[in-house]
Amino acid sequence: MSRATTILINSEAHGSLASAYIESAKPGITRLVTITAGVGFILAALGRSDWTLADLLVTGLGTIIGTALASAGANALNMWYESESDARMHRTRNRPIPSGRLSRKETAKAGVWLSIAGIVLTMLLAGTAASLICLLCVVSYVLLYTPLKTRTIWNTLLGTIPGALPPMIGAAAATQGMGPERLNSPVGWSLVALMVVWQIPHFLAIAWLHRDDYARGGQRMLPIVDPSGRITSVVIVLTAILLLPATLLPAFAMDTLGITTIAAAGLTGLAYIALCIKLALTRTERDARVVFIASISHLPLLLIVMVADAGISALLA
């Protein structure tokens, strides 16, 4: 074998290993978590006038990078814990551990070190309050939500905790103070409430689409114990209705959010409710997929409008 061929093979192996580690961090989830933490930071930071540009950049980067690392670590630990379940499910059997690209030990070590690095970096650059919330996200995801997925249908509700807290990491990092008062951010908590409610119809739509696969994996999801879909569809509609006032909370919590945010929240919220009602009436996989796609479009759109609305208001003030 030539030296060039050996180098090429080694490079491909290293590339494959790197991609396996990246996949174990669940990039899609890590990206969403990081974005919501960033939105919380931006919306809270716009209310401050005592920061230098250096302070803003250091704290902002610390928040974003720290949150991303901690989220990646928590996701890797989730894959370590669920590796046997993943191997039985069609949608997850090609993940790094079931496919043999990573061992459980390698994944667990990466998860622990990434989580520690993220929490420590957040503490050093974004403050103790933000790092404590970051720690709570990791602990609740790995030790609360993940084990309960095979034990109770209430795992979906409990799973909203780690998914909803990231905006508060950013808000706490951008709030004035040196102690617990940084946790008293109306901006942060209004975004947390929004994220709690948004996740329920979103994840129930996923569970509806993959209920047979979740059953193979031994995971307890509402659509599995509700094969007709009647209860699931009612919960989706009710939480979609509750999402409408939840999306308006940040507008009441911030002076910089106005009619643009309210109009966007109202229009997108009503459209989302209509799609959820259609799903309740038909209870088809097609409409469940539409609700899922609508949910992953609704949240980013609303967050973009909020940041733009607040930014323009701050510039005009």
Say whether both 157 and 219 belong to one domain: no
Question: Which CATH number does the domain housing residue 99 bear?
Answer: 1.10.357.140
Do 260 and 294 fall within a single domain? yes
Residue 7 in any domain: the answer is no
Confidence (pLDDT) at 258: 84
Q: Is residue 12 part of a domain?
A: no
Please give the pLDDT value at position 8. Answer: 34
pTM of this structure = 0.90
Q: Is the domain of 150 the same as that of 53?
A: yes
Q: Looking at the structure, do residues 51 and 103 belong to the same domain, yes or no?
A: yes
Q: Let me know whether 87 and 208 are in one domain.
A: no
Q: Are residues 116 and 195 in the same domain?
A: no
Q: Report the pLDDT value the prediction gives residue 49, as an integer from 0 to 100.
A: 78
In angstroms, rounded to a whole number, what is the distance separating the alpha carbons of residues 107 and 118? Answer: 16
Last residue of a domain, one of 144, 179, 214: 179
Phi, psi of 159 (to 5 degrees): -70, -15
Domain identity same for 137 and 190: no
Query: Is residue 4 in some structural domain?
Result: no
Q: What is the pLDDT of residue 257?
A: 83
Per-residue pLDDT of the chain (317 residues; tens, 9 = 90+): 544 343 333 434 445 888 999 999 999 999 999 999 999 999 999 877 788 889 899 999 999 999 999 999 999 999 999 999 999 999 999 999 999 999 999 999 999 999 999 999 999 999 999 999 999 999 999 999 999 999 999 999 999 999 999 999 999 999 987 778 889 888 999 999 999 999 999 999 999 999 999 999 999 999 999 999 999 999 999 999 999 999 998 888 887 788 999 999 999 999 999 999 999 999 999 999 999 999 999 999 999 999 999 988 888 76
Both 126 and 200 in one domain: the answer is: no
In a shared domain, residues 91 and 224: no
- State whether 172 and 193 are in the same domain: no
Residue 161 in any domain: the answer is: yes
| 292 and 193 share one domain | yes
What are the residue ranges of helices labelled H in the chain? Answer: 3-24, 27-45, 53-81, 83-88, 104-126, 128-139, 146-148, 155-158, 160-164, 166-174, 186-209, 211-216, 222-225, 230-253, 259-282, 285-316
Return the closest-CA partner of residue 41 out of 251, 194, 188, 257.
188
- Residue after which a domain boundary falls, among 156, 179, 202: 179
Handedness of CA 84, 98, 31, 221 (dihedral sign): negative
CATH of the domain at 295: 1.20.120
Q: How many domains, the chain? A: 2
Residues 235, 222 contacting (CB under 8 angstroms): yes
Give the structural domain span for 113: 20-179
Single out the residue in 120, 154, 179 at which a domain terminates.
179
Shared domain for 122 and 257, answered yes or no, is no
Q: Per the domain annotation, does 1 fall within a domain?
A: no
